[in-house]
A and B are shown apart, each in its own frame.
Chain A
Amino acid sequence: MSLIVNVLLGLLFGIGLVVSGMSDPDKVLNFLDLAGTWDPSLAFVMGGGVLVAFIGYRVVLRRDRPLMADGFKVPTKTAIDGRLLGGAAVFGIGWGLGGFCPGPALTALGLGQPGALVFLAAMFIGFWIARLVSAGRTDMAAKD
C-alpha cells in the first residue's frame, strides 16, 4: 500500500517538475544566469511550492498523526553548522555545473540521455562518499 501511495506521490511531484520546466537543465542554468540569459521562471516554482506547502503543512500538522504512520517525522536538527553550510555550498556548485538537482535528475532517467545517466550514477556515488566520510568522523569522535 505504501508502495502505491509513494509511486503516485512521486508521479505528482515529477509531473510538477516537468510542467514547471525545472526538469530541463537549460531552464535551470538560465535561471541561475543573472548576468546573461536570465529566465526568472523557476522563482515561481519555488513560490508555488512553498505557498501550497506552507498552508498545507499547517492544516496537516494540526492532526494527531498521519493517515498511514504512527507519527509525524519532521526534521528536528536546528544547528546551522559547517556540515550544513559546507554541504549546501558543494551542492550549489554541482547544481550550477550540471543544471540538475536530485529530483529533476531522476525524471531524466527514463529519457536516457548519456549526460543525465552519468550524473545520476555519480550522484549515488556522492551519497555513498558522504556516508563514508560521516561514518569515519563518527569513529574518530568515538575514539576521542
Chain B
Amino acid sequence: MTEFTPLASLIGGALIGLSAVLLMAIEGRVAGVSGIAARLLPPFRGGLPLAPLGFVMGLVAAPFAVMAVTGVPIVQTVSSNLPLMGAAGLLVGFGTALGSGCTSGHGVCGLSRLSPRSLAAVVTFMATAFLTVFVVRHVVGA
C-alpha cells in the first residue's frame, strides 16, 4: 500500500510541466528524458553533450535538494531482484529508444501538444504496463 497523495502529486506534476515549458522557451526542445539520456551515449554530434549532461545532473541532484529543504529522507522502494531490474532496464531503454519517447516525452510533452502519435504511444505503454503488473502480482504472484 502507498498513501493516496493527490495534492503533492498534482504539485509535483505541475513542476515537471513547468520544467518542460521553460526548456521549450529557453532552448526550444521537448523535455523527453529517454531522448535526453540517450544523447549521453557516443557518437556525439557537435562536441560534448553538455545540455543533456546538465539535465541529467539536475535529475540526479533533485532528491538531495528535496532532502536538504524538507529534512525528510527520500523513500524509494526498489526491488532487490537484480536480474528482474536488469531485464526491466533493458526493456525500458530499448522500448523508449525504438518508440522515440517515454512518460515525459510522449506523456507530458506529447499529450500537451495534442500529438496523435504520442497519444497512441501513451495508450500502448499504459496498457502493457497495467497488464504486466496484473500478471506479476495476480497471476504469477497469486
Contacts and interface: CB of A to CB of B under 8 A. Distances in A.
Interface of A: 2-27, 29-30, 32-37, 39-54, 56-57, 59-61, 63, 65-75, 77-80, 83-103, 105-111, 113-116, 118-131, 133-134
A3 B55 CA distance: 8
Interface of B is mostly: helix
Contact of A45 (B12, B26, B37, B96): B12
A29 B2 CA distance: 10
A97 B124 contact: no
Interface in B75-103: 75-82, 84-100, 102-103
Nearest to B121: A88
B37 A115 contact: no
Given A18-B66, A48-B16, A11 B104 contact: no
A15 B88 CA distance: 24
B92 A101 contact: yes
Given A13-B15, A13-B31, A18-B62, A23 B113 contact: no
Contacts of B77: 24-26
B54 A10 contact: yes
Interface string B42-85: 00000000111111111111111110000000111111111011
A91 to B, nearest CB: 3
Contact of A2 (B50, B74, B137): B50
Given A16-B14, A90-B91, A60 B66 contact: no
Chain B's interface size range is: 35 or more
A71 B52 CA distance: 18
Given A14-B60, A49-B17, A84 B27 contact: no
A9 B130 contact: no
A31 to B, nearest CB: 8
A57 B113 contact: yes
Contacts of A118: 82, 85-86, 89
A62 B28 CA distance: 12
Contact of B1 (A21, A32, A37, A113): A37
In the A-B complex, the 7 residue pairs with the closest CB atoms: A126-B93, A10-B58, A87-B99, A20-B12, A14-B62, A48-B13, A96-B132
Contacts of A2: 27, 50-51, 54
Task: Tell which of A16, A53, A122 has the most Cβ of chain B within 10 Å.
Answer: A53
B133 A73 contact: no
A7 B36 CA distance: 12
Contact of B108 (A4, A26, A49): A49
Given A15-B15, A29-B133, A126 B100 contact: no
